[in-house]
Amino acid sequence: MSKETKNTGTAARSTFSSSLGFFLAAVGGAVGLGNVWGFPFKLGRGGGFPFLVIYVLCVFVVGVPICIAEYALGRKMRSGPVSAYKRISKKWTFLGWINMAVCIGVMGFYCLICGWLLKYACMFALSLVGLGGDFLAMDSATYFTAFVSKPLEPLIWTYAFMVINYLVIRKNISQGIEKSCKVMIPVLVVILIVVAIRGCTLPGADAGLDYLFKPNMTAFNEIGFFAVFTLALVQMWFSVNIGFGTNLLYGSYLPDDTNIVKSAIIVPIADMCVALLAGLAVMPAVFAYDLEPSTGAGLLFITLKTVFAEMPGGSFFGLIFFIAVLFAALSSTIGMTGAIATVGTDEFHWDNNKSSLVSTIIPCIIAIPVSWGYGLLSGVRPLAFLGKDTDLLDSLDFLCENVLATTAALLLCIFVGWVIKPTWICEEMEASGHTFKRKKMYAFMIRYVTPIIMAVLFLQSAGVFEMIKKLFV
């Protein structure tokens, strides 16, 4: 059973039943598609072990300070992002709304991809019993293109996924998130271990292991140290959900006796371990079949489908792999949907069922034009004025993650560092009875180091450095 905690200015609010429940929920919120289709490719592209070292440094320099701030803000205010900022300072309510814009926008395309995952999982299941038709035999790229370009079928699968998402959180957001993650995260890890063992034992898998872990300093010469640093920082950024407001949401359900600092360190590290496990499940198999490593949708729906189609027992391993990826995706979507739902529960005093329903419908509406961006609206390029030849999905991804989420995180550092001051956060960290001995260092990090790094990332994402480079070349 979940507990209830009362806080000044809010009604009784349920919390996670234990620190373990919070840990699994927070890891679930962090683990997502980026761990499976982004981290392995970037790890190899960034030079293997050197990339990993930079990634861990980014976790401690940027990820941990911001996670501490969001967890502390959430637990202190016991409310979602919009209400939390509003109650502290009405002038900063807009920061909570930016968080919500990020979640709504990301869910608009994320739920569509989850629909694709559900379709592929079902097709592998049908193939396992001989009812998959030409799914395994058909060229992977041709099959994927034909599927996503259809006007209705991708949306049907998307809405089926969102029904599952809604059922998880409709009665009680914190209980729904905790109970589902207590099942999904352990199962996810077990499945990835099984697939990783199979992939690593394939003939030629050694090349995949070398790609992932063998130190390759030529990466610094080929793409430059700054590019490798940016790869690691961006991967960490979105893996830990910085700027989404979901960490603040999880903090609002955090038990009073939980050590915030310990949690802020363990969660990103656990997320990285799952990402490494995903890399072991993916890349050795890709190299064993002499395919080019890729990233994004191409890796999941084209490259890996080809791998499983050629692998002995491929229908079974394809099925359990896509189930694992579905669990990873669902653990993220319930967090984002839950964050959106808090606007209804906190601001409009709706019940959980109504808030969850509205927060489910909104992304479903946004998913319509995004899906048609591969068919009826394939020629639309919203960011052409910025020189970006990106479709509707990639354009929405860029605006939400590279612009809005980065801006939200930078503003959070300013808010904590200069408005409410780091002592506010430190007091909440010690309210649980745990002594925090690095107050001065934390204040320095959240005020200066972290925001400067984020500002650099923002300028890099916006293409400012590239424009400056062109002026001198």
pLDDT digits (tens, 9 = 90+) for 73-94: 999 999 999 999 999 999 999 9
Q: How far apart are the first and last CA of the chain?
A: 63
Residue 148: enclosing H or E segment and its boundaries?
helix 140-148
At residue 60, φ and ψ (nearest 5 deg) are: -80, -30
Question: In a 3-state reduction of DSSP, which class is residue 11?
Answer: strand
Reduced DSSP (H G I as helix, E B as strand, rest coil) percent helix, strand, coil of the chain, to 5: 75, 0, 20
The pLDDT, as a whole number, for residue 193 is 93
Question: In a 3-state reduction of DSSP, which class is residue 262?
Answer: helix
| Separation between Cα atoms, residue 178 and residue 182, nearest integer Å | 6
The pLDDT, as a whole number, for residue 291 is 84
pTM of the model: 0.91
| Separation between Cα atoms, residue 350 and residue 173, nearest integer Å | 13
Asked if residue 148 lies in contact with residue 154, where contact means CB atoms within 8 angstroms, the answer is yes
Q: For the chain, how many helices (H) and strands (E)?
A: 25, 2
CB atoms within 10 A of CB 462: 15
Over residues 99-153, the pLDDT tens digits come to 999 999 999 999 999 999 999 999 999 999 999 988 999 999 999 999 999 999 9
Over residues 280-333, the pLDDT tens digits come to 998 899 899 888 887 777 888 998 899 999 888 999 999 999 999 999 999 999
| Separation between Cα atoms, residue 297 and residue 72, nearest integer Å | 35
Residue 13: enclosing H or E segment and its boundaries?
strand 10-15
| Separation between Cα atoms, residue 110 and residue 112, nearest integer Å | 5
